[in-house]
A and B are shown apart, each in its own frame.
Chain A
Amino acid sequence: MALIGTSRRRERAAGRTRRQHEPRPPVAEPGTPVPVVELRDATVVYPGGHVALERVSLEINRGEFAFVVGPTGCGKSTLIKMLIREVEAASGKVYIAGRDIERMSDHKVPLLRRRIGTVFQDFKLLPNRTVYDNVAYALQVIGAPRSEIRQQVPEILRLVGLQAKIHNYPDQLSGGEQQRVSIARAFVNHPPLLLADEPTGNLDPETSIGIMQLLYRINRTGTTVLVVTHDSGLVDKMRRRVIALEEGRLVRDEAISGYHDESTTEFAVRMRQELGVGDEGHTNGDTH
């Protein structure tokens, strides 16, 4: 599955040559021709000379669920911004589904962003639109037909557990619910890659689990999920692949695979146990 409509042949050729001289991290789903994300010595320098990312190389394969951790200012958010080409790499290569996005022309960037869902700490919802309209917006903007919007939006809102709040405005929702809307918006057109920048940064631990659970469920549909967080405690307990950054450099990349077959409910139960929060078995809805 190609992220962007591009020459398949070029992707495969690129994939083959890469495989020969670089060890690949454990593959979630074997047979994937091209990593969803591939960085090679990517360096980002902000105006003023601050080096936000320095020679970062990594690969993330299709269907993976990976965390990016590190202290504030380590370049985590820059990594996300680089992947949607909000910032450009000063040197090195950034491939999304085998496509070098640094060489992509500006007018193709919106097409790239349509194939990548993004979730942020501050939700970035439009305050004067209802939950439905906020999610529908993502489809309207890419010119989806009205019939598709009418069918997809309630469906995705059911998936995130907000079908009852479809006509509420964001300020009538809790933080966790707002983040669910934001995830629904990011996922409504089923992008192959979902990026989440501190999705639980504003939320309490119990609500955070609900959000992580939702992201995990999205991951189970085959979507590659990359979650940026500074909460390394939570990440360590979840035992997923962890990419650690420090001062813009990659300092750790541990791929732990072992929870591939669990259901999201088991996932939540175990997380609650490990985090030491109540285990009454909340599935959706958040506690305030």
Chain B
Amino acid sequence: MSRITFFISEAFRALRRSAAPSVAAIVTIVVTTLLLGVLVPVLRASESKTSDVREEIGLRVFLYPDATLPEIKKLQDEIRGIDHVEAVNYISKKEGLERLRGDLNDDLKDSLDELKSNPLPPSYEIRLDDPDYLEAVQNDLEPAGASGKPKPISPLIEDVNDRQDARQIRDVTGAVKIVLVVIAALLLVASLLLVANTIRLSIYARRREVEVMRLVGATNWFIRWPFMIEGVLVGLSGAVIAVAILTLGKVTIVDPLADNFALVDNFSTVGFLPLVVVLIASAIVVSALGSGVTLRRFLRI
């Protein structure tokens, strides 16, 4: 019991005395925790958004309006047989118009009503199981002919189109995914190194104390405990400050935004509470381990 109080009072004494390195360590932890606290939900959100977008990627095959229904059915089965095609959806002229109507706002809807006939061709909507095979499927639908120009596999097909600039979207979202992962990894490594280094600095400043402790016969664990407790205190205070700032930011900026900003409300992001718990726990563990590992260098007998 008196030992525990001794360890704790030693840890507090060390924090008080080496105020500058302690503050540096706390600030480091605040900054990295804050960065992670912002980045993790953002990453999660953009990741889920990216996945949503990628799922929409597909091909649109436009047919000549004079195609008959049996011909259409037959071609649909044929396309379904192509590798990586997940679903083929037939959209008649009428359906196409309805869809267009749904996508437009009121003014433009009115102008649609002024049309005398339906100008939209019938089409297939093709969904892929993996957007990376976009080119392959397109190539299967209109392989290059003798002249080098793409020639559709069926005379019914008037044109094959990427839906919604699918190719671009796919490339951009793929790049975004990679960039996000790289940023997250770099940040994690950087913060670990930063925390370890700050702790090393503060221990190095007190190597004399460690030397004296060893000299008078302190066991290694006896020497280690005050430093570990100090690490936990630094990690805890850093994490608490960071979480306070995060909460403030969430309440004042993100929450009001979420009410009227369409992008935010269909995020599938991480819950705030689990995020906070993970951040605090990892800040403490990293600081305590950082202290313990650094001490090893000074504790070889």
> Residues of A at under 8 Å CB distance from B?
84-85, 106-107, 109-115, 118, 124-126, 128, 137-138, 140-143, 145-146, 185
Contact = CB atoms under 8 A, between A and B. Distances in A.
A111 B217 contact: yes
Q: Which 6 A-B pairs give the minimum distances between C-beta atoms?
A: A114-B217, A113-B217, A141-B218, A138-B216, A110-B217, A110-B219
B301 A85 contact: yes
Contacts of B2: 143, 145-146
B301 A141 contact: no
Contact of B217 (A125, A126, A142, A146): A142
Interface of B: 2-3, 6, 17, 208-209, 211-220, 222, 301
Contacts of A113: 214-217
A78 to B, nearest CB: 16
Contact of B222 (A125, A141, A185): A141
B301 A118 contact: no
B216 A185 contact: yes
Nearest to A185: B216
B301 A137 contact: no
Contacts, number: 49
Nearest to A118: B215
B301 A124 contact: no
A126 B216 contact: no
Contacts of B214: 110, 113
Contact of A141 (B17, B208, B211, B217): B217
A124 B218 contact: no
Contacts of B215: 84, 113, 118, 124
A126 B206 CA distance: 10
B8 to A, nearest CB: 13
Contacts of A138: 216
B121 to A, nearest CB: 84
Given A110-B220, A114-B216, A137-B212, 4 more contacts: A113-B216, A124-B208, A142-B218, A185-B216
Contacts of A111: 217
Contacts of B301: 85, 106, 109
28 contacts: A84-B215, A85-B301, A106-B301, A107-B219, A107-B220, A110-B214, A110-B222, A111-B217, A112-B217, A114-B216, A114-B217, A118-B215, A124-B212, A124-B215, A125-B212, A126-B208, A126-B209, A126-B212, A128-B17, A137-B212, A140-B6, A141-B213, A142-B217, A143-B2, A143-B3, A143-B222, A146-B2, A185-B216
Main DSSP-derived SS at the B contact region: helix
A276 to B, nearest CB: 35
Nearest to A140: B6
A125 B215 CA distance: 11
A112 B217 CA distance: 7
A236 B219 CA distance: 39
Contacts of B211: 124
A124 B209 CA distance: 9
A183 B179 CA distance: 62
Contacts of B212: 124-126, 137
Q: Which of A85, A110, A118, A124 has the most CB of B within 10 A?
A: A110
Q: Which of B17, B216, B222, B301 has the most CB of A within 10 A?
A: B216
A153 B281 CA distance: 41
Nearest to B300: A106
Contacts of A185: 216
B201 to A, nearest CB: 18
Contacts of A142: 216-218
A107 B218 CA distance: 10
Contacts of B219: 107, 110
Nearest to A119: B215
Contacts of B222: 110, 141, 143
Nearest to A109: B301
Contacts of A146: 2
A113 B220 CA distance: 13
Contacts of A145: 2
A137 B17 contact: no
B179 to A, nearest CB: 47
A170 to B, nearest CB: 12
A128 B209 CA distance: 10
Q: Which of A85, A125, A137, A140 has the most CB of B within 10 A?
A: A140
